A and B are shown apart, each in its own frame.
Chain A
């Protein structure tokens, strides 16, 4: 009983962490380029989730992941267009989230009526067992992003743009181009995160199924201090509470189910307050 519970908790945590890691990595890339932050992750993930389900139903689970990524890339392109047009980053993000929410809710009613058979996520054999491809991808992409940021000229240029755009410009770095690429990457990652979320959990699309995870991904990036490796730690931490909320529906954990469901959001709030405290702590001399 206890062992079974722990196994479920572990698997649940990994599953819940995967979309947060993927969306968080994209956000790290975007923020390190100095292009602001992406409040549109939530909407992009929803678009990725719907596209993932549709793609998977049409041509198999791998096509689902590809379709989710592509949908995210389209949202990333909108974000990039907003950057180029000089629109405020908060506005662009809100527009993307509203667009993603409305569009997917509408399209899912037209294209993906409820009651369809549940789809599965692609799996890969790892150490004799089978593991969701999303989690394997998340591990691989974490390593890639980490290396990209410190081991490639592209990554260094990206960080230069985020550090000081004026200096980057005098050093001959095309700041706008770097940021456009970053926005596309961030969109694609968020779309993939959405597809993994939909396929690896219930295997179908439900309107608003992301339940604020796009915003939790933003919180993860803040706690992770905008590093790729930090995102994994932050995502796992948040995912524990997400998994608890899920388990509370099956097991009697003492408190009402609703309390556990509120837990991830409560923890987010507390962590962000602590992080904020750290930031505003006054310096010794003004």
Chain B
């Protein structure tokens, strides 16, 4: 008995086949996990089911009949609710008002809306106050509120795109209890995750997507963890044999018992980075990475503890355009962090020629293409923007460098180039702190690995001990 299904659905985007003849079926009363790496096609599949995109070719079937939803609202009218990865509640409005937004009545029926939300909340056993501005709810509460909202709109299929990405362990467990309750009430639940532990905790059925294809599908009880991981990530490439760096020197950046907020807090965190060393920071996103990077880079003063640096500290922030001047010519981004140097100014007036010469040289050294210092930064591809930023920051051999997700969203080639830049900087004596979501790249370039969870360092080991078993434990979310 299937409610909603994808039948041999394909979807191609420029340069990538997001889905390739995918079959996927959700049934009432069942929690179905859609598992896969980043870019495996999970979000595309859910977007299609929710009416935000269309298969080409292929079809969506509802109760066995082919359908084509005009929009998310149209899909919702057919009982298909989506809890997207990014929030979709209007923060200024209460939950009841958020419900009223989507209703056919021109005059708000506040009391009726509140009552329906309370009923829906009871079904899943959540205590959500429908009359509080949703902005004032906690992150976990908002996530549950989205779920209740979909339910109050009579959703019989619920699609959740990484519902636990922003949640802590306690909230995650709570979310799973609600999903089970929903299934028990006869709702079909499909949720995206890339954590194996979550599949084990809540799913009846598992579908693994890899490179846009269904790599495995069936009951969760029929398969062991090792098989799931293998189908999900493929065979992990061998660790490149790398000489351990011998020239590791004195600490260049020390964090002693620092605490900071930044919306993603760290507590009592101590960490040293030595000259010539690459320290990789791993962990599930949202566990303090942002605060750690900002504090280490010296952009945010810690609320407690001390930070010591011995020289200049370079910083590549998580959002690359934060470190560049997006609308202006590349030459200005190339020098913006060192315009004070005397060579760029003559009696307080910027020497345009010197800036251009320096920028041209920098672009050539770091292989930024096209190597034209006059082009606006925004016309460069993401990979070249990142090479420009990383190149500028690492170019003059800083004492320490903090890089937050420097290869995020880049294609394999650009990512490799960034990693070799990092390795080169370390060989030149820079102490590097690499905050990353990708165990693969950390393994490739780091000397030492720290694992971050809940804003604390929960594990630290030399990169030599960093083997597949550990990758598995991290991927599976077993680091909590």
Contacts and interface: CB of A to CB of B under 8 A. Distances in A.
Contacts of B71: 172
Interface stretch (A14-22, A56-64, A147-155): A147-155
Interface string A159-191: 110111001101111000000000000000000
Contacts of A156: 90, 93, 97, 100-101, 108
A282 to B, nearest CB: 12
B300 A170 contact: no
Given A171-B101, A173-B101, A159 B108 contact: no
Given A167-B87, A168-B90, A170-B88, A153 B103 contact: yes
Interface in B367-409: none
A16 to B, nearest CB: 32
Interface of chain B: mostly helix, strand, loop or mixed: loop
Interface string B319-361: 0000000000000000000000000000000000000000000
B108 A151 contact: yes
Contacts of A254: none
Contacts of A79: none
Interface string B422-459: 00000000000000000000000000000000000000
B415 to A, nearest CB: 28
B74 to A, nearest CB: 9
Nearest to B265: A285
Contacts of A162: 92
Contact of B90 (A164, A285, A286): A164
Interface residues of B, number: 26
A156 B102 CA distance: 10
Contacts of A167: 87-91
A157 interface: yes
Contacts of A160: 90, 92-93, 101
A173 B262 CA distance: 32
A151 B97 CA distance: 9
B303 interface: yes
A157 B90 CA distance: 9
B292 to A, nearest CB: 15
A151 B105 CA distance: 11
A170 B262 contact: no
B90 A153 contact: no
B72 interface: yes
Interface in A216-256: none
Contacts of B72: 170, 172
A163 B92 contact: yes
A164 B105 contact: no
A151 B92 CA distance: 14
Interface in B216-271: 260-262
Nearest to B104: A153
A57 B103 CA distance: 47
B73 A153 contact: no
B365 to A, nearest CB: 34
B102 A164 contact: no
B73 A172 contact: yes
B58 interface: no
Nearest to B300: A286
Contacts of A172: 71-73, 102
B106 A285 contact: no
B107 interface: yes
Contact of B92 (A153, A159, A170, A171): A159
B131 to A, nearest CB: 12
Contact of B108 (A152, A164, A170, A173): A152
Contacts of B101: 153, 156-157, 160, 171, 173
Interface in B260-296: 260-262
B84 interface: yes
Contacts of B90: 156, 159-160, 163-164, 167-168, 171
Interface string B106-117: 111000000000
Contacts of A171: 73, 88, 90, 101-102
A160 B92 CA distance: 7
Contacts of A168: 90
Contacts of B91: 163-164, 167
Contact of A154 (B103, B106, B301): B106
A286 B106 contact: no
A162 B108 CA distance: 19
Contacts of A286: 262, 300-301
A152 B93 contact: no
Contact of A285 (B87, B100, B261): B261
A159 B93 contact: yes
Given A160-B93, A172-B71, A153 B88 contact: no
Given A170-B72, A285-B260, A151 B107 contact: yes
Given A172-B73, A286-B262, A153 B106 contact: yes
Nearest to B74: A172
A172 B105 CA distance: 15
Contact of B107 (A153, A159, A163): A153
A223 to B, nearest CB: 20
Contacts of B303: 285
Given A153-B103, A160-B93, 7 more contacts: A152-B107, A152-B108, A154-B106, A156-B93, A167-B91, A168-B90, A172-B72
Interface of A: 150-154, 156-157, 159-160, 162-164, 167-168, 170-173, 285-286
29 contacts: A150-B108, A152-B108, A153-B100, A153-B103, A156-B100, A157-B101, A159-B92, A159-B93, A160-B90, A160-B101, A163-B90, A163-B91, A163-B92, A164-B90, A164-B91, A167-B90, A168-B90, A170-B72, A170-B84, A171-B88, A171-B101, A171-B102, A172-B71, A172-B72, A285-B260, A285-B262, A285-B303, A286-B300, A286-B301
Q: Which 5 A-B pairs have the closest CB atoms?
A: A172-B73, A163-B92, A160-B90, A285-B261, A170-B88
Interface of B: 71-73, 84, 87-93, 97, 100-103, 105-108, 260-262, 300-301, 303
